[in-house]
Amino acid sequence: MMHKKLKKLDNILHGMESFVIAFSGGVDSTFLVHRASMLKKIKFSAITIVTPYVPKKEIEEAIEFCTAAGVSHSVIEVGFPEAVRHNPVERCYLCKKELFQSVRDYSVANGFKYIADGTNHDDSLDFRPGIKALREMEVRSPLQEAGMTKQDVRDASSEAGLSTWDKPSNACLLTRIPYNTLITDEDLKKVEMAEQYLFEKGFVGTRVRIHGDAARIECMPGYLSKLVNNPERELIVGNLKKIGFRFISLDLEGYRTGSMNPEN
């Protein structure tokens, strides 16, 4: 089954001939860039968009991957779209429309036929307003078209020797803040610093959701007890308070995607 999906993916990429890939450095887009780099007789380039709400670590990893793989790569810096400044429910839709316009401008200016992204088959099952924007802008999603699920992508990435095969899913920092809330540079910085600190402490993939002056920590499976019983717990709490949070709470449900979504 995997062989058939990969063959279909290759056929899709060959059929596109010339395209740019919106490259975040995550599991899906990394595999897509890798797979495209293995094919002959196609023209493609990876494009990474930099905004104030994308963690710097993600940008650095995207640049490092393309440099090591010898892949053509461009970084486009975009300011904070005013349409999402108050984090509306349709945030992802509005954001994708604006950011991918920059990608489209680049692709047209450089003679590429298509724009591709790393959306996989599973993404259509979640609350993803951004996908609507992608379809309106005629962005192709080769992984989804090939029927590849998130697990398929991880398995294929592992087989290809990509270090991202077990990388936790990530999303922009706006997902850490409640909808209909004014986004400040200070809040974005606090969330990014807190998550990076917890990552360095060994809590990979942990989310820090912000609720006013309180931090709600969502851990990956197995990390709840590790954090509660950590001999450095008081030190961890103290450092999170130094970052700017007054209250530190641990979400007993643990990490799950879309915990800020309206239905949740």
Q: Yes or no: say if 103 and 115 are a contact pair by the CB < 8 Å rule.
A: yes
- The CATH fold assigned to 2-166 is Rossmann fold (3.40.50)
pLDDT band with cut points at 50, 70 and 90 for residue 173: very high
Question: Is 258's pLDDT higher than 80?
Answer: no
Rounded average pLDDT over 165-183: 92
Domain boundaries, the chain: 2-166, 173-250
Question: Quick one: pLDDT at residue 259?
Answer: 61
Mean pLDDT of the region 25-53: 96
Output the pTM of the full model: 0.90
Question: What mean pLDDT do residues 203-220 have?
Answer: 94
β-pair partners for 207: 218
The per-residue pLDDT for range 104-128, each reduced to its tens digit, is 999 999 999 999 999 999 887 666 7
Q: At 221, is the pLDDT very low, low, confident or very high (cuts 50, 70, 90)?
A: confident
| 12-20: average pLDDT | 97
pLDDT of residue 126: 64
The pLDDT of 38-43, averaged and rounded, is: 94
- If we measure between CA atoms, which residue out of 132, 130, 98, 135 comes closest to residue 115? 135
For residue 91, pLDDT beyond 60: yes
Report DSSP letters for 25-50, one per residue: SSHHHHHHHHHHHT-SS-EEEEEEEE
